[in-house]
Amino acid sequence: MTLKSIPRPEHPRPDKFRPDWLNLNGEWDFEFDFTVCGMEKELFKKPFENGAKIIVPFPPESKLSGVHYTDFIPAMFYRREIEVPVNWQNKRIILHFGAVDCECKVFIDGEEIGAHKGGQTSFEFDITNFVKFGEVQQLTLYVHDDVRARLYGGGKQSWNYKPEGCLYERVTGIWQTVWLEAVDFAAIKDFRIGIDFMNGGFSITPKFYQVKPSYKLQITAYANEKEVGKVVGNAVDGQMLYLPLQVRREWNPDDPFLYSLNLQVFDDNGKEIDSLQSYAGLREISISEDKLYLNGEEIFLRFSLDQGYYPDGVWTAPSDEALKHDIELGLEAGFNGARLHQKVFEPRYHYWADKLGYLTWAEFGSWGLNWHDETARNNFFPQWREAMERDINHPSIITWVPLNESAHSYEFANTNDYPQYKAWVEEIYNLTKSIDFSRPVNTTSGYLHIKTDLWTVHSYAPDADALAKEMFPEAGGVYSRYAEHEVKYSGQPYLNDEFGGFLFETPSMEKIGHGYFGIRITDAEEFYKHAAPQVDWMINNDKISGYCYTQLYDVEMERNGVYQYDRTPKIASETLKKVFGKKNKSSKW
């Protein structure tokens, strides 16, 4: 299979690029394991008998996979041949998985090389000791995915037989790119970029596959291919190197400027043994009293809800261009960013957001996780840590959102549940801040707020008057859906991070969808009539710092997008911009 014929052929991590890599997407053998006996039958050691094929990285529920099986898939096996190039000898060989839903074990020639739990985050295995260079070997993957057990967050995947309401098609197994990479034994494994916005510099904190204290790490910054900074230090885990910039240019929505970074490791003889290409943006997100600031300038967030679903790929974008196009659609509609809802988006989406100046809130797909269950609560922490650590260097991400509407007041009928829930959410907030204290944390989008940097509400209303009454009750203060269990509002930035949601079906569309309030919009005039007054009221209210409209595009049977599910427009972008392109008078962007 040539590179051009490989689905999703682009490098999956433009923020961590090396030239020695092999894309493993394409045709794999597969076998469903409906009885969940495949491990006992040792299918990981045998050729599959059914001859079935699947196109990776598309999940079996998708059309693009060539399978399109939409019933529950409790378990399955994948298998393909791999041949690691002979010229990769004397290198460390890393096997990368962008994401596999939900639990998996990986085998080479029938021997287990590792396992991973959690369906939304990336992981890798060092397979050097299992490789026979230049020889054909068998790579097998076992997947277990029990959505109904609710031990892991599945986002908007339906735990009922049929997708309904705001629960959609399920995703099983591989749904992001699989690839091999050759690196030196003492290569860079990861690194954290800290932003010194005031002084114009970056702090780089590295981690290596193997530490050689006498080796040197050199980091060079480029602006438009011109060197603008360099620093050299010892190649030691956790030893921060400060990279001052001779040319200072901030990253913002109007000018999303990115510095190119080259991270090189040199051995004792001065020979380069590793070179990794990355990039960084000089920007700062901060809070002062009840306002949000980007680079010291007040900003009002004009967001849409983006759920990352595709008609033919479910969770997997059909192409890199499709990822970019979703951002372009948001910009064309007048939004300055998106709340990435109930799914950990793939790194290339964040790459395009970085390139295009599109602000995002990165959210974990927490729905479907039974927080009453101790195992499920504990499963959350390593998954959320993996998501944050993978994406922390992207300048476009300005807020972390671990949970969405994670509990309702009626769920605390058992008096022991509330203290458990409260302690769990507090620990999630603390973990998030311990990993990254440079960004705000919207711990629970909408409700139930326990410990949070932002006060967010989901206020769906038929008109602006109703919206105003709900967001600012007559009794005073701000909207609290479950005041008896939420902490009291303490002056955080106040945002309506879900509103709108009107059923929007133009005359040419099949009438099968649903929206909210029984309001059905059919044309541009009606849309403007219902949406514009609510937006105008929010952008003109000094106590509100942003909104998020539900939603950017339709998803399956939900028809409340401003674009159709296939991303074709419902109305002209000029009309959408008249609604969502208006800026708050105090906001620069």
Q: Which of 220-229, 465-474, 495-504, 510-519 has the lowest mean pLDDT?
A: 510-519
Report the half-sphere exposure of 1 (CA within 13 A, side-chain side). Answer: 18
- Cα(458)–Cα(111) distance, rounded to whole angstroms? 49
Q: Is residue 252 part of a domain?
A: yes
588 domain residue, yes or no: no
Structure tokens at 458: 């989901």
Same domain, 394 and 514: yes
Q: Is the dihedral of CA 167, 326, 60, 348 positive or negative?
A: negative
Cα–Cα dist 78/448, whole Å: 40
The whole domain housing 571 covers: 285-580
Share of the chain above pLDDT 90, in %: 94
Based on C-alpha coordinates, what's the Rg of the chain?
Answer: 24
Q: In terms of domains, do 273 and 337 share one?
A: no
- Cα distances from 355 to residues 246, 258, 350, 562, 567, in angstroms, run 22, 7, 9, 24, 21
Residue-wise pLDDT for 381-418, tens only, equals 999 999 999 999 999 999 999 999 989 999 998 888 99
Confidence band (pLDDT; 50, 70, 90) for 247? Answer: very high
Both 101 and 58 in one domain: the answer is yes
Question: For residue 132, is it within any domain?
Answer: yes
- Kindly report, residue by residue over 477-524, the tens digit of the pLDDT: 999 999 999 999 999 999 999 999 999 998 888 777 788 877 889 999
Residue 515, pLDDT score: 83
Residue 18, both tokens? 């090396």
Q: 441 in the Ramachandran plot: left (φ > 0), alpha (ψ -120 to 50) or beta?
A: beta
Instruction: For residue 380, give both structure tokens.
Output: 């959350």
Q: pLDDT-derived band of residue 572, with 50, 70 and 90 as boundaries?
A: very high
* Whether 254 and 150 share a structural domain: no
Q: How many CB atoms lie within 10 A of CB 83?
A: 14
Task: Taking the CA atoms of 246, 252, 253 and 256 in sequence, report the sign of the dihedral they define.
Answer: positive
Asked if residue 189 belongs to a domain, the reply is: no
**Residue 199 CB-density burial (10 A; 0-12 exposed, 13-18 middle, 19+ buried):** exposed
Instruction: Based on the fold, state whether residues 488 and 558 are members of the same structural domain.
Output: yes
Please count the other Cβ atoms lying within 10 Å of the Cβ belonging to residue 375: 10
- For 51, the token pair is 């001859």
Total of domains in the chain: 3
Same domain, 19 and 149: yes
Name the burial class of residue 328, with classes exposed (0-12), middle (13-18) and buried (19+) by CB atoms within 10 angstroms of its CB: middle
Q: Are 302 and 405 in a shared domain?
A: yes
Assess if residue 585 is contained within a domain.
Answer: no
Pair (177, 307) in one structural domain: no
Looking at the structure, tell me whether residues 358 and 469 fall in a common domain: yes
Residue 192 located in a structural domain: no
Per-residue tokens: 187? 């290569």
* Residue 136 and residue 223 share a domain: no
* Section 331-357 average pLDDT: 98
Residue 2 has pLDDT above 60, yes or no: no
Distances (CA, A) of 96 to 122, 446, 553: 8, 35, 31
Q: Residue 287: beta bridge partners?
A: 292
pLDDT band, very low/low/confident/very high, at 135 (cuts 50, 70, 90): very high
In a shared domain, residues 240 and 361: no
Please give the model's pTM, rounded to 2 decimal places. Answer: 0.97
**Residue 191 resides in a domain:** no
Residues 6+ apart with CB under 8 A from 415: none
Q: Kindly report the CATH number assigned to the domain that includes residue 494.
A: 3.20.20.80
Length of the chain: 589
Q: Enumerate long-range contacts of 571-574, CB under 8 Å, 24 or more apart.
A: 571/506, 571/523, 571/524, 571/527, 572/524, 573/332, 573/333
Q: Of 588, 583, 541, nearest to 299 (Cα)?
A: 588
φ and ψ at 51, to 5 degrees? 70, 15
Give the per-residue pLDDT at 513.
78
Omega of the bond prior to 85 within 30 degrees of 0, cis? no
Q: If you search the block for the tokens 């029984």, which residue do you land on?
A: 518
For residue 4, the model assigns a pLDDT of 58
Kindly state the helix (H) or strand (E) to which residue 264 belongs, with its residue range.
strand 259-266
Q: Where among 132, 154, 183 does a domain terminate?
A: 183
The string of DSSP codes covering 357-419 is T-EEEEE---TT--TTSHHHHHHHHHHHHHHHHHHTT-TTEEEEE-EES---GGGG-STTHHH
Q: Is residue 144 domain-shared with residue 218, that is, in the same domain?
A: no
Within-domain flag for 210: yes
| Residues 458, 481: Cα–Cα separation, whole Å | 9
pLDDT digits (tens, 9 = 90+) for 43-81: 999 999 899 999 999 999 999 999 999 999 999 999 999
Residue with tokens 């096997």: 95
